[in-house]
């Protein structure tokens, strides 16, 4: 080991603030949230300590013990034991413990100590511990444990000073390694009790506010009512807060597009700029506010500590449909994007539960679908008040999300029947303390979302939009052609060929065509429709109106339902393959979702045609 660099690893029970410490030390932007199992991969960062020494910091998934059973916990164990491929064991282990919950967290500290490696204990959440009147005799604890102990507050900028000073100094000597057998593990419990007795004074009462809130939040009836109300309000807010901003952006782009068009000579370049860039990309960009409003609520909920309660409430229902309460948080993250959701299933111990969760995660409506929904809802569903209070468009949006959830439950139930599984696993899940969201974490989360969105927009969506514009413009119609020019383009031919598949569910050739780029990034369906209609000369008065004029209501409803279920995302399929290591699972996922989407869209279309 050179003196100039030091490799440290942050370990500890889930939800004790390892990632918050990591971010504070390295200036990183890893996801922090108030539930167990947020971090499921090893993440690396670095910073330069005041002495000039460079510290490499590893953030690891939380783990309760070394009897690791879930895939994410195994990563932590392997890294510490030096079994992680291509990585030497860390020079110094920083074991993080939640100071408000030492009775639980010290057990793992003792387990890590048995590895006999240089180690420091960080008592995190000291702010919360002080607030609750918990008194910790740090000197005594350090002496009894035989390792340096520092206090930290990972959510405050100056809350990691003591830790930095500690890791910047001498590396503490390692204690003796101890054998790790079941008998000696039983002693850990006694050891924790003795430590608690000697070094920690806990107030008698637990947190009264948490208990009072939980009486409502975990109530079998009111709890569900509260959960439903929270979800419903979120979707109302997406509309009432996001929509005005979206409209303003769209108006701005129309204005800009019209002006830019006057500076360009008429011809392909003008068409590319106005139809492709302003029409296509501008329309997608306009949906950013809605996405951010949705994320504001998801991030706030994640930080509040409410989500594990919701998981707990829904556990019985989820077990009935072949999932578990543990699936709840991965499924909820899939509202952002199925990819982190599918990766989040690593914290599910039972492999069959994990597989079931992976298979249904793509049915949760990801944020890339929001522009498609918002566009079609805006064009086809009147913006009416219902019961003088709720917005009809917001209600339809809520219904589409609900359709995804109901679909997931149905599929889970069928899979459970197919595998003849009668086993039920009790949900063991820690309920964290309620916490006011940190402005910084919410801001980081929104910023991350914005950059991801803009990167997609200027990358894959831009490329596909230009491609769509190109195939809709060329080749030019032959001399003497009578129909609209676009019908003679590559896009026209391709769309009509595809339409054979999709005509039964009511899609015209333009919609059928837009499904191709949507496979790479779903939002592109919007850009593609915008471009195709604009090139066809139909979008003069806005894409919404053009769609309303050219697509019957029944087809629009069918398209919405299609998007709720269809397996239209390459990256999701790729991540399923990576996480399960099986092409068969990918085929099953693709096949069942395609069938489900097709049948559901077919039924919707026929019903709508019949009713209208």
Ligand X SMILES: Nc1nc2c(ncn2[C@@H]2O[C@H](COP(=O)(O)OP(=O)(O)OP(=O)(O)O)[C@@H](O)[C@H]2O)c(=O)[nH]1
Q: Three-state DSSP class for 45? A: strand
Is residue 330 near ligand X by the rule CB under 6 A? no
DSSP 543-558: HHHHHHHHS-HHHHHH
For Cα atoms 244, 395, 545, give the angle at the middle one, nearest 5 degrees: 55
Residues 33-62 that bind Mg ion (CB under 5 A): 38-39
Q: Which stretch binds ligand X (CB under 6 A): 45-53, 151-159, 397-405, 521-529?
A: 151-159
- The answer to whether 308 touches 430, Cβ cutoff 8 Å, is yes
Q: Whole-number minimum distance, CB 453 to ligand X, in Å?
A: 23
Q: Whole-number minimum distance, CB 115 to ligand X, in Å?
A: 19
How far is CA 439 from each of CA 38, 299, 305, 436, rounded to the nearest angstrom? 18, 10, 15, 9
Among 410, 263, 346, residue whose Cα is nearest residue 39: 346
Residues 7-36 that bind Mg ion (CB under 5 A): 18-19
Q: Which stretch binds ligand X (CB under 6 A): 87-95, 280-288, 404-412, 435-443?
A: 435-443
Among 241, 361, 228, residue whose Cα is nearest residue 292: 241
- The answer to whether 236 touches 293, Cβ cutoff 8 Å, is no
Q: Whole-number minimum distance, CB 518 to ligand X, in Å?
A: 33
Number of residues that bind ligand X (CB under 6 A): 27
Q: Whole-number minimum distance, CB 309 to ligand X, in Å?
A: 14
Q: What is the dihedral of CA 58, 64, 67, 68, to 10 degrees?
A: -50
Q: Whole-number minimum distance, CB 14 to ligand X, in Å?
A: 4
Among 240, 349, 438, 545, the residue binding ligand X under the rule CB under 6 A is 438
User: Residue 567 binds which entry of ligand X, Mg ion, none, with Cβ cut-offs from 5 to 8 Å by kind?
Assistant: none
Q: Which stretch binds ligand X (CB under 6 A): 9-17, 177-185, 450-458, 486-494?
A: 9-17
Q: Which stretch binds ligand X (CB under 6 A): 45-53, 150-158, 475-483, 576-584?
A: 150-158
User: Residue 354 binds which entry of Mg ion, ligand X, none, with Cβ cut-offs from 5 to 8 Å by kind?
Assistant: none
Phi-psi region of 95 (alpha: psi -120 to 50; beta: other; left: phi over 0): beta
Is residue 303 near ligand X by the rule CB under 6 A? yes
Instruction: For ligand X, give the closer residue by CB, 17 or 362.
Output: 17
Instruction: For Mg ion, give the closer residue by CB, 38 or 329.
Output: 38
Which residues touch 237 (CB under 8 Å, ≥6 apart)? 293, 297
Instruction: Look up residue 554 and give its two tokens.
Output: 């029944």
Q: Whole-number minimum distance, CB 214 to ligand X, in Å?
A: 17
> Is the bond leading into 565 cis (omega within 30 degrees of zero)?
no
Q: Whole-number minimum distance, CB 172 to ligand X, in Å?
A: 22
- The answer to whether 307 touches 328, Cβ cutoff 8 Å, is yes
Q: How far apart are CA 315 and CA 318, in angstroms?
A: 5
Residues that bind ligand X (CB under 6 A): 14-20, 32-34, 36-39, 61-62, 124-125, 127-128, 153-155, 303, 435, 438, 441
Which residues contact Mg ion by CB under 5 A?
Answer: 18-19, 38-39
């Amino acid at each position: 080991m050179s003196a100039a660099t030091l490799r440290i690893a942050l370990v500890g029970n889930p939800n004790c603030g390892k990632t918050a410490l990591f971010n504070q030390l390295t200036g990183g932007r890893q996801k922090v949230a108030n539930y167990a199992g947020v971090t499921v991969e090893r993440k690396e960062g670095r910073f330069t300590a005041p002495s000039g020494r460079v510290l490499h910091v590893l953030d690891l998934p939380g783990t309760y013990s070394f009897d690791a059973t879930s895939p994410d916990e195994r990563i932590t164990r392997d890294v510490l034991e030096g079994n992680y491929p291509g990585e030497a064991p860390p020079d110094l282990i920083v074991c993080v413990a939640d100071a408000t919950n030492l009775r639980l967290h010290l057990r793992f500290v003792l387990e890590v100590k048995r590895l006999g490696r240089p180690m420091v204990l960080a008592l995190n959440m000291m702010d919360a511990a002080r607030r609750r009147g918990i008194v910790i005799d740090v000197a005594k604890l350090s002496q009894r444990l035989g390792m340096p102990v520092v206090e930290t507050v990972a959510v405050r900028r100056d809350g990691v000073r003591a830790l930095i000073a500690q890791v910047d100094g001498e590396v503490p000597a390692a204690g003796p390694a101890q054998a790790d057998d079941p008998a000696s593990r039983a002693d850990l419990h006694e050891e924790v009790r003795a430590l608690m007795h000697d070094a920690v004074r806990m107030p008698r009462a637990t947190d009264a506010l948490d208990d009072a809130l939980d009486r409502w939040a975990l109530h079998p009836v009111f709890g569900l009512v509260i959960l439903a109300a929270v979800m419903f309000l979120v979707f109302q807010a997406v509309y009432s807060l996001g929509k005005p901003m979206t409209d303003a952006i769209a108006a701005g782009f129309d204005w800009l597009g019209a002006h830019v068009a006057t500076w360009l000579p008429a011809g392909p370049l003008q068409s590319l700029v106005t139809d492709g860039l302003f029409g296509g990309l501008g329309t997608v960009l306009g949906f950013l506010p809605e996405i951010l409003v949705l994320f504001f609520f998801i991030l706030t909920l994640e930080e509040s500590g409410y989500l594990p309660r919701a998981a707990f409430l829904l556990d019985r229902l989820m077990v009935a449909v072949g999932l578990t309460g543990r699936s709840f948080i991965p499924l909820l993250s899939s509202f952002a994007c199925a990819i982190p959701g599918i990766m989040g299933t690593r914290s599910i111990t039972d492999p069959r539960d994990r597989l079931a969760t992976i298979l249904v995660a793509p049915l949760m409506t990801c944020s890339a679908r929001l522009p498609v929904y918002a566009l079609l809802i805006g064009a086809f569903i009147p913006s009416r008040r219902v019961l003088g209070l709720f917005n009809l468009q917001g209600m339809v949006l809520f219904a589409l999300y609900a359709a995804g959830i109901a679909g997931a439950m149905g599929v889970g139930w069928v899979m459970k029947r197919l595998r003849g599984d009668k086993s039920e696993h009790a949900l063991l899940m820690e309920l964290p303390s309620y916490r006011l969201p940190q402005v910084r974490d919410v801001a980081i989360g929104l910023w991350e979302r914005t950059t991801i969105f803009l990167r997609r927009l200027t990358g894959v969506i831009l490329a596909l939009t230009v491609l769509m514009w190109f195939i809709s413009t060329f080749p030019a119609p032959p001399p003497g052609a009578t129909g609209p020019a676009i019908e003679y383009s590559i896009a026209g031919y391709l769309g009509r060929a595809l339409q054979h598949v999709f005509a039964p569910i009511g899609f015209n050739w333009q919609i059928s065509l837009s499904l191709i780029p949507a496979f790479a990034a779903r939002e592109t369906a919007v850009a593609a429709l915008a471009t195709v209609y604009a090139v066809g000369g139909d979008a003069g008065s806005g894409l919404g109106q053009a769609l309303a004029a050219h697509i019957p209501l029944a087809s629009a409803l069918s398209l919405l339902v299609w998007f709720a279920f269809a397996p239209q995302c390459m990256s999701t399929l790729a991540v399923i393959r990576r996480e399960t290591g099986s092409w068969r699972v990918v085929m099953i996922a693709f096949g069942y979702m395609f069938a489900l989407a097709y049948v559901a869209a077919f039924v919707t279309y026929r019903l709508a045609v019949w009713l209208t």
